[in-house]
Amino acid sequence: MGIKITGIGSYVPNGIATNKSFETNDFYNEDGSAINHDTSVIIEKFKSITGIAERRYVEDNLNNSDIAYFAAKKAIEDAQIDQETLDYIILAQNYGDVKHGSTQSDTVPSIASRVKHLLGIKNPSCVAYDILFGCPGWVEGMIQANAFIKAGIAKRCLIIGAETLSRVIDKHDRDSMIFSDGAGATIIEEMDEEGGILAHISATFSLDEAHFIYFGKTNNKEVNDNTNYIKMNGRKIYEFALTNVPTAMKTCLDKAGIPIDKLKKVFIHQANEKMDEAIINRFYKLYKQKAPEHIMPMTIDKYGNSSVATVPTLYDMVSKGKMKNHSIEKGDIVMLASVGAGMNINAIVYQV
């Protein structure tokens, strides 16, 4: 018996924001001082570090709950199930519904309840709730659903990760170029076959690291703006991730009892291309090995960092043969891993 993904779907918004679209922005440091480089130079340096050339922004008439619904509907259709048989809808998000042109986050009712409403599910025993866990939220939702099924209180769960970060970015902060919008969803249930979730781990580092990612004011101190925006200490996050994520991944793989040479793919949160490459290299180095070519699919160059949506979107694309040089087949061992605000880390070893 194994608790497996039986359906998956994602939604990638149609709006494309290229790096060139930021050339008219005036960027400032956190202390309000001007950055002494032309904007074109800032953008070029940004691209060399993050790997991001463009990102996706949601259409003005859509909210986070809408794109979460789109991804959920695709996952339900992919699983070919009756949606009334869902026991849980677990939705990972961080900023709720922020309407276009608004500065207020709307989280009541929960985004999960809104998705259940949009799906038209009548069954009151289908419990819908949100989780706030930073970028690792969707992976954590999978871990929670796995526990519910193992405990016998659920048979079938829908896990969604959805975010519209374009609605909470400061146009005067160069880090705003990292963030994007998107949604991914999975159906998991116990199947009469081997595989599924073999091991998982989660951790929260908050003694010194809690505020590495936070909500703060615009970097342009000349603007009279009471709005808060997503902010981060990029250097500290980079150092934290390189120190802690590879060891967490090793702990999870060892817990599953799987040799590293059996790993077919590592689906890691799409946060920063150089950071992810450094993480995967350090992970393999812990086993005194070199990371194989094509072990880590990447979408960050075209899709940016859509937070909780990055891992399920990536898995959806690879599982459906939409990425060159990347594929997975029944029986393959893969890892899902993420790091983000909290600071939180988690990982799953999964057999397709």
Please check whether the two domains, 2-193 and 198-351, share a CATH topology: yes
* Model pLDDT, residue 222: 87
* Model pLDDT, residue 94: 96
Backbone angles phi, psi at 140, to 5 degrees: -65, -35
* Model pLDDT, residue 36: 82
Tens-level pLDDT at each residue, the chain (352 residues): 899 999 999 999 999 999 999 998 989 998 889 888 888 899 999 999 999 999 999 999 999 999 999 999 999 999 999 999 999 999 999 999 999 988 889 999 999 999 999 999 999 999 999 999 999 999 999 999 999 999 999 999 999 999 999 999 999 999 999 999 999 999 999 999 999 999 999 999 999 999 999 999 999 988 888 899 999 998 999 999 999 999 999 999 999 999 999 999 999 999 999 999 999 999 999 999 999 999 999 999 999 999 999 999 999 999 999 998 899 999 999 999 999 999 999 999 999 9
Question: Measured between alpha carbons, how far is 144 from 157 in angstroms, rounded to an integer?
Answer: 10
Burial 29-47 (b: 16+ CB within 10 A, else e): eeeeeeeeeeeeebbeebe
Domain 198-351 is found in CATH 3.40.47.10: yes
Report the CATH fold assignment for 2-193: Peroxisomal Thiolase; Chain A, domain 1 (3.40.47)
Question: Measured between alpha carbons, how far is 332 from 241 in angstroms, rounded to an integer?
Answer: 26
What's the predicted TM-score (pTM) here? 0.95
* Model pLDDT, residue 57: 97
* Model pLDDT, residue 263: 97
Q: Would you put residue 167 in left (φ > 0), alpha (ψ -120 to 50) or beta?
A: alpha
Q: Could you tell me the residue ranges of all domains in the chain?
A: 2-193, 198-351
* Model pLDDT, residue 110: 97
Question: Measured between alpha carbons, how far is 195 from 6 in angstroms, rounded to an integer?
Answer: 12
